[in-house]
Amino acid sequence: MEFTHHTEFPYEMATEWNALLAESATHVPFLRCEYLADWWATRGGGEWPDDSLLAIITAREDGRLIGIAPLFIASHEDKKKLLLLGSIEISDYLDVICRAEEINRFLHGLLRFIREQFVATGQITGLDLYNIIEDSPTLKALEESAKTLDLEMRVRKLQHSPFIPLPGNWETYLERLEKKQRHEIRRKMRRALEGDAQVKLYFTQDEGNLEDDMEDFLELMAQDEAKEDFLSPMMREQMKSVMRCAFAQDCLQLAFLEIGGQKAAAYLSFDFLNRIWVYNSGIDRRYM
């Protein structure tokens, strides 16, 4: 297996990259080539300094792409580390990109390559991999390879990652809820329908409305004080870049609840692989 260190983003690999991702053990929207390219362009909306260094590592065998480790070098916790592109705050799930049946040998070779090319040369002191979901085969493969190569490995829980299995229709979903919660939802829906102001659910579908809808969404987000601090000018551009990218890939779900013609609340999600990946939200405080 031949490993290559890329110090410039390999845009020419986009088709090959995404094709491998589609066959990978972890297939999430945050690992698509165009998403990570946009993330890198702003260093995650300013989360990381401009002097961070790109360190994407690819592995091939007889010309066939086996794996991609989308990494970069930055100071983290006062030490130079290799981290996954997308780390830490704005990409929900990250991982290496590799087919499940090849993950063990890819990661074994990757750790050897990193030790020889990065650790031995003093460029980094360690590898910090954030936002890997707990059922990823990467964790077990890393543990086995680290043991074989006599490397120290520690795993810690970063945060919970909840999900909600959804049935095929709304009424079935309601029936699964507790009686009190179900009654409260129906009561609020009835009040909304019987009120004087028209209530409407609106999805961004027209490219001509995209820029205005993105601005409206960010303004709703910013009504939360914590999110207002988070939304620096650079982070706003990063968020817009994410939405434009998702729209171009036909997986953007930007939904607004309109009351009397005014956008009162919104959700930004990705409609990807028959799942809705909820990303962020905002609400006009006047409607709370």
The three-state secondary structure class of 95 is: coil
Backbone angles phi, psi at 242, to 5 degrees: -60, -45
The pTM for the full model equals 0.93
Is a pLDDT exceeding 90 seen at residue 9? yes
Q: Concatenate the DSSP letters of all residues of 226-263 into one string.
A: HHHHH--HHHHHHHHHHHHHHHHTT-EEEEEEEETTEE
Share of the chain above pLDDT 90, in %: 95
* 18 occurs within a structural domain: yes
Residue at 166 is within a domain:
no
Whether residues 143 and 21 share a domain: the answer is yes
Residue 156 lies in a domain: no
Structural domain tally of the chain?
Answer: 2
Indicate if 189 and 280 belong to the same structural domain: yes
pLDDT at residue 193 is higher than 90: no
For residue 56, give the amino acid letter.
Answer: I
Domain that residue 260 falls in: 179-287
**Predicted confidence (pLDDT) per residue in 129-182, tens digit:** 999 999 999 999 999 999 999 999 999 999 999 899 999 999 999 999 999 999
pLDDT for the residue 192: 87
Assess whether 230 and 271 both reside in one domain: yes
pLDDT reported for residue 203: 98
d(CA 285, CA 100): 46
Mean pLDDT estimate for the chain: 96
The verdict on 126 and 190 lying in the same domain is: no
CATH number of domain containing 15: 3.40.630.30
- Looking at the DSSP bridge assignments, the partners of residue 254 are 268
Do 9 and 109 belong to one domain? yes
Domain boundary among 148, 170, 188: 148
- Asked, for residue 77, whether it belongs to a domain, the answer is yes
Give the orientation angle of helix 33-41 with respect to helix 233-248, to 10 degrees.
160
Are 35 and 110 in the same domain? yes
The label of the residue with tokens 């991609």 reads 68
Are residue 6 and residue 141 in the same domain, yes or no? Answer: yes
Mean pLDDT (whole number) for 235-262: 96
Residue 116 in domain:
yes
Q: Are residues 31 and 101 in the same domain?
A: yes
Q: Two tokens at 115?
A: 């030790």
Out of 109, 132, 148, pick the residue that ends a domain: 148
Domain assignment of residue 172, yes or no: no
- Both 134 and 186 in a single domain? no
Contact 123, 80 (CB under 8 A): yes
In this structure, are 10 and 126 located in the same domain?
Answer: yes
88 occurs within a structural domain: yes
- Let me know whether 200 and 120 are in one domain: no
Give the tens place of pLDDT for each residue, 56-77. Answer: 999 999 999 999 999 999 999 9
> Last residue of a domain, which of 148, 171, 193?
148
Asked if residue 205 and residue 140 are part of one domain, the reply reads no
